Amino acid sequence: MFRYFSFLFIFISLFISVYGCEKSNDLAVDEKINVEDMYVDTPVLMISNKGYTEKDIYEFNKLTINEMDEASYSNAEVLKFLVDKFVEYNLLLNEASRLEIVFFDTELDRSLNSLRTAKGAYDLKIGTDSYYTDNIDMIKDINNMSKIEMLISKVSEDNLTVTENEILAYYNSNRKQFTNPYKVHVSHIYSADLVKIEKAYAELQKGFAFSEVAERFSDSPDAVDGGDLGFIEKDSNVSDIFDSVFKLKVNKYSKVLKSETNGYHIFYVSEFKPGGIQRLTAAKAEIIEFIKQKKKQDKLEVYIDELYEKADIKIVNDFNLDNYSKYIKSRKN
């Protein structure tokens, strides 16, 4: 099903509806297309006896529609997705109001202040083409979204428990997910010059540190890092030359090895991480979090389905995205 809630989707859409509408109208005038004239002014959708127009639905979904390709404008499933998101938002907002969920001024101030930080201002500018955070409509939208978020937290988290049997069942059914590959931390010295690589090997035999010799002799770009290649997993389809690496003991280096293509290597292993199945005790926190998130999503889906069943929702006039697609094209030309 298309219809399930996305905070980010709705939150950004609301930002766009606050600021994007004003900017879009300006662009429409510039391109000789007045966006206001393109909408059916009578309700096309009724939700619990309240009417909504094409413009209400389009403005709410503006960010998504702006990113769509032309083929999507005539796709019935896409239109259904956009309408479902709009309906879902209003059902949740109505329910939050019915339950008298309050978003306190201190929390609103915190949300607004986050938009006034360097990162927040950047995000706000990208989403709304404005740095202005005192717009009354935007404050109202943040308030509404926050009420919905509080409602969803209440619905999805109340009486949420994870039993030991559930943890064990998930662990036993998903063993592969908790299998760690054998890894070694590898450094190397590389050169296409056999004489040079043999000199490097001689330096190692004298007791010089591998990283120091790599910096002096290796022709690989990682020489500045002492030849550090990081961790390599066994059976990770790297070059066959690395097979010898997994036979080395920690703090040991290899002999001079000829590459399959060209040049020579000396490898050094500084650390290893044994493979095998992660123990349940080590994986437990991750499993609990996964099960919790799954249960939250399941509860939320059931809750939204119930809201749909209780609400009186009617499409009273047919509509499509054709007019809006013309407007989008006018902006892109």
pLDDT given for residue 142 in this prediction? 72
Supply φ then ψ for residue 88, to 5 degrees.
-60, -45
Q: Which residues of the chain have pLDDT under 50?
A: 1-33, 122, 124-133, 328, 331-333
Q: What is the pLDDT of residue 238?
A: 61
Q: Residue 108 has what pLDDT?
A: 56
Per-residue pLDDT, 322? 64
Burial of 44 (C-beta count, 10 Å sphere; 0-12/13-18/19+): buried
Please give the pLDDT value at position 199: 96
Q: Which residue has the tokens 């919790």?
A: 292
Structure confidence at residue 34 (pLDDT): 55
d(CA 324, CA 328): 6
Q: 108-128 in b/e burial notation, b at 16+ Cβ within 10 A?
A: eeebeeebeeeebeeebeebb
Sequence-ordered alpha helix ranges (H) in the chain? 7-15, 21-30, 54-60, 62-66, 70-73, 76-98, 105-115, 118-128, 136-157, 164-173, 194-205, 210-217, 280-310, 322-332
Structural domains in the chain, sorted by start: 7-160+293-332 (1.10.4030), 182-274 (3.10.50.40)
* Residue among 296, 311, 324, 318 at smallest CA distance from 88: 311
Residue 193 corresponds to which tokens in the numbers above?
Answer: 């010059």
Chain centroid offset of residue 261 CA: 40
